[in-house]
Amino acid sequence: MKLVFVDFDGILAKILMRLAKAFEMYCQSVPEELAWLRTESAAKNNDIYWQCVFLPQLVPLDEYMEGSAEALDELERRGYQIIILTSRIDTMYEASIEWLQQHGLLTPPRRLVMKPAKMKIGTPLLKAVDVYALASFLMAHEVLYIDDQKANGDEVGKYITCTFRQAQSLEEALEITAEQATEIA
């Protein structure tokens, strides 16, 4: 079995509008006497900001990455089973499913794997554990991992025992799999 794990944010969706709205909401929650905390660097180290980022009602602000549905369809034609893997927390599950379906990205037999809200583990290790467990359970002989954050793919690659390739975009993934198909032919 050939599996492809596709990151959600940065690969399928642009989340800049959601991040901007979350930052606005965070700034509104900071009292005037702590106005110095109203910076992006302070926000990113604050739980209130991240609670805003992960609000399900902000998911519709995410923008579809053009060509994503077609790229996933092509990967399926090349024999890959698709798993959308995200560190979005599971309280966003329904909103994320709706968004993916609206854009033609979550069609059977594709799957979505999300982070449990109470799990306090860094994204690279979380994704490495998820990919390892799913690849082992599904007896994959090949894993293609697509994530705009190279560090996540590097961490995943440490644990995968079958053929492993990584890409930082859907375009790069299509190039890698096209080269592979050429090598086989």
pLDDT tier for residue 32 given thresholds of 50, 70 and 90: confident
15 neighbors 59 (Cβ within 8 angstroms): no
Query: pLDDT at position 185, please?
Result: 45
175 pLDDT higher than 90: yes
Query: pLDDT at position 120, please?
Result: 82
Give the model confidence (pLDDT) of 75-112 as tens digits: 999 999 999 999 999 999 999 999 999 999 999 999 99
Q: Which domains does the chain have, with CATH numbers?
A: 2-14+64-184 (3.40.50.1000), 16-60 (no CATH)
In whole angstroms, what separates CA 114 from the centre of its chain? 9
Tell me, yes or no, if the pTM score tops 0.85.
yes
Give the model confidence (pLDDT) of 115-164 as tens digits: 988 888 889 999 999 999 999 999 999 999 999 999 999 999 999 999 99
How far apart (Å, rounded) are the C-alpha atoms in residues 115 and 133? 14
CA distances from 96 to 3, 67, 101, 103 (A): 21, 18, 9, 11
CA distances from 28 to 45, 51, 96 (A): 16, 14, 25
Per-position DSSP letters for 71-83, written without gaps between them: HHHHHHHTTEEEE
183 pLDDT higher than 80: no
